[in-house]
With several copies, the nearest count.
Chain A
Amino acid sequence: MTQNEPLVFEISTPGARAVDLPHSDVPVVEIDSNLASVAISELPEIGQLDLVRHYTHLSHRNFSVDDNFYPLGSCTMKYNPKVNEWAAALPGFANLHPLQDESDIQGALGLLYHLRVFLQEIAGLDEVSLQPCAGAHGEWTALKVIRAYFKDHHQSKRRIVLAPDTAHGTNPASCAMCGAGVVTIKSQSDGLTDLDDLQSHLNDEIAAVMVTNPNTVGKFDSHMIKMADMVHQAGAFLYLDGANMNAILGIARPGDFGVDVMHYNTHKTFSTPHGCGGPGAGPIAVRKELAPYLPVPQVIRIDGKAGERYAWDERRSKSIGKVRSFNGQFNVLVRAYTYIRACGPEGLRNVSECAILAANYIAQRIKDVYPLPYGPKDGQPMATNPCAHEFIAVPRAIIDRGVSIMDIAKNLIDRGFHPPTVHWPVHDCLMIEPTETESKATLDAFADSLLEIAALSQTNVPLLKEAPFKQPVRRLDEVGAARKPVLTWSARSGGVSEKVLA
């Protein structure tokens, strides 16, 4: 673990090969020299065993859910069932070309159609598009849909989106990508939306209000219903960032509490693996007014005399068009389908209930030492003011002793835990999302570690500030990394790229 793993380029040996290819069974032809590359590729050359070892070593230097608890707030790092991977690897899914004739892809279309219907039901909304690639892409797509609606309804001047100060960074960024302006609305000290502030911003230039609920501080916003009324009154749409859907599956449906449009993150809520950063999928669900504008293609069911069949609907005259090539993140959606079928309706509700229970349980165990700005009054149990599936702690006293949030994070790594999300949505916070798939023993061990770190902050601050000790590297110079970025390796300078941007 503590040895450095060389870069793949540093173990490259000219002439080494990991894979062999067949001889040509047709005549070899030379490509026109005007078209051919003159450059000699610098790609690494490496034998198969060394290749296996290199990536095996990297895999052992990588924290994962399979390895241990990963309570990264807002990311829903739940268990990724192995049967999902089995399903995605089925040749009938993995080896399917995206442009095959409909008669050849009935299984794939059927799966997508069923998933679409499940997601409609979970949202309590009328139509789902499975096209978007991730949450942010879903946001952007949904905003495009809203924009198209207003253009179609001769309200082109509705170009502004309101979003709370605690909104995830993708919300304003997605607005900007659509050319929409973003105006921030305030949150109250209890974490809920400030309705007066909201009201003061509502006018006939507002296209949508974007909220997260449960919000990013881990509270279910009970103003939601009122808010929806206000937004609708003002002629705008209420958008739900569905990143936190893991808190309400089968308990409440966004469509029922006034949401008009939302996105899902399958890689959060529906257990599709996060793959060191992706892929995910970001299906969006909309009310029927918005449905005509959804992107193409849409998967549909056609009930004919010979039974049902599934098809692509490409010809939606009001559609915003395509948002990506082909058919969406299909093999991510296969995993989401597999998961939803495994859980069933009762299972989905149990997922959310247990996610909430797990968060409240950890919160309860640590809150005296890691105070919760949005939690119950001092000395009161969590049930008096429960969090949703995640919560925020701001350990001011520990910080005042000179231990930073980052110090706490690094100490957790050495104790075998991935740190929570830090410094977001408020500075100096830990945002803890345990998910429902952890065992009670793991939750207890994590809480114990946090308490131990807190105790050490009273006796041995220097030790806490030195950690981590057991990782391959510790405390990186991230400022230097950004100031003089080294973004590629180059042979010509002994391993450090010449391509340094001063």
Chain B
Amino acid sequence: MDYVQFTSQQRDEMLKVVGASSMDDLLAPIPTDYRLTEPLKMPPALDEMSLRADLSALAAKNMSSDRKVCFLGGGVYDHFIPTVVDHLAMKGEFLTAYTPYQAEASQGSLQAFFEFQTMVCQLTGMEVSNASLYEGATALAEAVMMALGMSGKRRVLVSAGVHPHYRQVLKTYLSDLPAEYVELPLKEGVTDMLATEGEADADTAAIVVQSPNFLGLIERVDTLAKFAHANESLCIQSFNPVSLGLLKHPGEMDVDIATAEGQPLGIPMQFGGPFLGLFATKLKHVRKMPGRLVGQTVDIDSKRAFCLTLQTREQHIRREKATSNVCTNQGLLALRASVYLAAMGPKGLREVAQLCFNKATYLARQLRSTGLSLRFEHQPFFNELLVKLNRPVDQALQSASDAGLLGGLRVGSYYPELADCLLIAVTEKRTKVELDLLVKVLAAKS
């Protein structure tokens, strides 16, 4: 099924109307030498029933979190998604629209994005948010690009606690630019403050931190912001949006640009994408911001109305001078996150965060009671624990898998010194029974 609706008779009629004796006439501009005479080499078309069988078979080969209990985190979390979120965000009227270029025809999505921008600001305590970027890592990279562009400085100090993927992406972004990537070491699992103070200088465009960091530990972002501001650098924080149900938000810590992976806000884990890049900053920086923005205005009858605005920042107007090259963004995911945030409200989000924290704390306690310990016992955490195991991580994970658990994340490939540790994420979905089972599995000697 190629979803073409013309019948062969109509095809012929239309060819006639355009003065073509066959389809080949319309392909004339393509030199015949380069026109394919054989079909592409790929399997034949599938009817819908066979197609569904094929996809079902592929999906069935995956051990998804509905088949095993998920303690994997590392930037993607198995949170609960209320049914109403799926229902509303998947409405065909949203799904099959594009960027709202024609405001009159798209007030629905424009208003939804205006609400999204507002909710991101309410969540982060920042002053302005765009209407989405691709995902967490590229959002962070865009923040750094913005800091470089605004400041004219070269150095970017990046905490080693930032998600390893994000650091790798950032390096790719910076590699051909006049910029210097400097990694700030960790001390006891969090950014080494002394080292940071030492590195920060007048040529520093930004200090980049993630909190809670990749090891699950809460950073002293406010202190880092002070270091940054002392050098007229920007402080950029990558945050976990659900953690803001409990933790100090970037605005309170005087962060200049706050970015995040929005996945925890009602977006399925879906093997890593599509996700949602959140990007918020101070109002004074808005004209340097990447990404689309929706603004409120009035129409000719003085009615409130919404439209894309400050487009002179964007590639379709400014071309090589644009603040970013982004065009297609993650609109539907922004809409989904909005529905999630509106569904949860301040109390719901707080409860989710509190449940995560309760359960992580309980897990830590139970693990300790079996003699295991957290790798950095004296650092505060939110919903992720770095646990030092007393047997090989692969072996422990195999036992967990046998017990029906996705037991956690190996971190050794990112932090070789932590090869004996397991990073365990806990969400509000994990029950005491599941936590107890994990403890039992990890505490076992083999």
Interface size (A, Cβ < 8 Å)? 218
Number of A-B contacts (CB under 8 A): 765
| A80 close to B95 (CB less than 8 A) | yes
A43-B349, A136-B328, A487-B293 known; A329 vs B274 contact (CB < 8 Å): yes
0/1 interface trace, chain A 54-85, chain B, CB 8 Å (1 if under): 11111111111111001010010111111101
Cβ of B169 < 8 Å from any Cβ of A?
yes
Give the chain A neighbours of B347 by CB distance below 8 A. Answer: 17, 45
| A5 close to B268 (CB less than 8 A) | no
| B101 close to A72 (CB less than 8 A) | yes
Cβ of B399 < 8 Å from any Cβ of A?
no
| A19 close to B344 (CB less than 8 A) | yes
Contact of B331 among A13, A78, A275 (CB under 8 A): A275
A225 to chain B, nearest CB (A): 6
Contact of B3 among A27, A271, A349, A384 (CB under 8 A): A271
| A133 close to B273 (CB less than 8 A) | yes
| B4 close to A437 (CB less than 8 A) | yes
Cβ of A364 < 8 Å from any Cβ of B?
yes
0/1 interface trace, chain B 25-50, chain A, CB 8 Å (1 if under): 11111110011100111111111111
Give the chain A neighbours of B194 by CB distance below 8 A. Answer: none
Contact of B92 among A43, A56, A346 (CB under 8 A): A56
Give the chain B neighbours of A134 by CB distance below 8 A. Answer: 134, 326-329
Contact of B305 among A78, A91, A476 (CB under 8 A): A476
| A386 close to B357 (CB less than 8 A) | no
Question: Which chain A residues numbered 95 to 110 have a C-beta less than 8 Å away from chain B?
Answer: 95-101, 104-108, 110
Cβ of B406 < 8 Å from any Cβ of A?
yes
A57 to chain B, nearest CB (A): 8
Give the chain B neighbours of A77 by CB distance below 8 A. Answer: 96, 98
CA distance A434 to B319 in the complex (A): 26
| A436 close to B4 (CB less than 8 A) | yes
Task: Kindly state the interface size class of chain B when it binds its partner.
Answer: 35 or more
Question: Which chain B residues numbered 317 to 370 have a C-beta less than 8 Å away from chain A?
Answer: 317-322, 324-335, 338-339, 341-352, 354-355, 357-359, 361-362
| A277 close to B325 (CB less than 8 A) | no
| B1 close to A342 (CB less than 8 A) | yes
| B34 close to A92 (CB less than 8 A) | no
A321-B169, A330-B270 known; A386 vs B18 contact (CB < 8 Å): yes
| A172 close to B319 (CB less than 8 A) | yes
Nearest A residue to B111, CB-CB:
A58
Contact of B25 among A327, A386, A480, A485 (CB under 8 A): A386
Query: Which of B64-72, B151-159, B185-193, B201-209 participates in binding chain A?
Result: B64-72
| B273 close to A329 (CB less than 8 A) | yes
Interface class of chain A by DSSP: loop
Contact of A477 among B63, B298, B409 (CB under 8 A): B298
CA distance A90 to B53 in the complex (A): 12
A45-B346, A220-B29 known; A91 vs B331 contact (CB < 8 Å): no
CA distance A50 to B83 in the complex (A): 15
Cβ of B440 < 8 Å from any Cβ of A?
no
Contact of B47 among A21, A86, A439, A468 (CB under 8 A): A21
A26-B435, A440-B10 known; A48 vs B343 contact (CB < 8 Å): yes
| B166 close to A325 (CB less than 8 A) | yes
Nearest B residue to A471, CB-CB:
B104
B108 to chain A, nearest CB (A): 3
Cβ of A328 < 8 Å from any Cβ of B?
yes
Question: Which chain A residues numbered 424 to 445 have a C-beta less than 8 Å away from chain B?
Answer: 424, 436-440
| B324 close to A27 (CB less than 8 A) | no
Contact of A93 among B4, B62, B334 (CB under 8 A): B62
| B321 close to A176 (CB less than 8 A) | yes
B81 to chain A, nearest CB (A): 10
Give the chain A neighbours of B319 by CB distance below 8 A. Answer: 169, 172-173, 182
Give the chain B neighbours of A489 by CB distance below 8 A. Answer: 114-115, 118, 296
Cβ of B171 < 8 Å from any Cβ of A?
yes
Give the chain A neighbours of B329 by CB distance below 8 A. Answer: 134, 277-279
Give the chain B neighbours of A98 by CB distance below 8 A. Answer: 76, 269, 271-273
| A39 close to B325 (CB less than 8 A) | no
CA distance A19 to B52 in the complex (A): 13
CA distance A25 to B359 in the complex (A): 8
Most B CB contacts (10 A, CB to CB) among A24, A92, A489 go to A92
Cβ of A178 < 8 Å from any Cβ of B?
yes
Give the chain A neighbours of B65 by CB distance below 8 A. Answer: 95-97
Cβ of A144 < 8 Å from any Cβ of B?
yes
| B44 close to A345 (CB less than 8 A) | yes
CA distance A331 to B332 in the complex (A): 13
CA distance A249 to B349 in the complex (A): 32
Contact of A75 among B39, B98, B348 (CB under 8 A): B98
| A21 close to B35 (CB less than 8 A) | no
Cβ of A488 < 8 Å from any Cβ of B?
yes
Cβ of A111 < 8 Å from any Cβ of B?
yes
| A18 close to B269 (CB less than 8 A) | no
A496 to chain B, nearest CB (A): 7
Give the chain A neighbours of B137 by CB distance below 8 A. Answer: 322, 324-325
Contact of B6 among A105, A279, A439 (CB under 8 A): A439
Q: Sort A-B residue pairs by CB-CB distance and give the 10 closest, nearest first.
A: A381-B19, A344-B45, A275-B332, A92-B59, A277-B331, A326-B272, A98-B272, A107-B61, A62-B108, A47-B5
Can you list 7 A-B pairs, Cβ within 8 angstroms, ordered by A? A55-B112, A168-B316, A173-B318, A174-B325, A326-B271, A475-B104, A477-B297
Given contacts A28-B354, A353-B27, 10 further A-B contacts (CB under 8 A): A14-B9, A16-B345, A48-B343, A92-B58, A93-B271, A107-B58, A274-B331, A326-B75, A471-B105, A487-B117
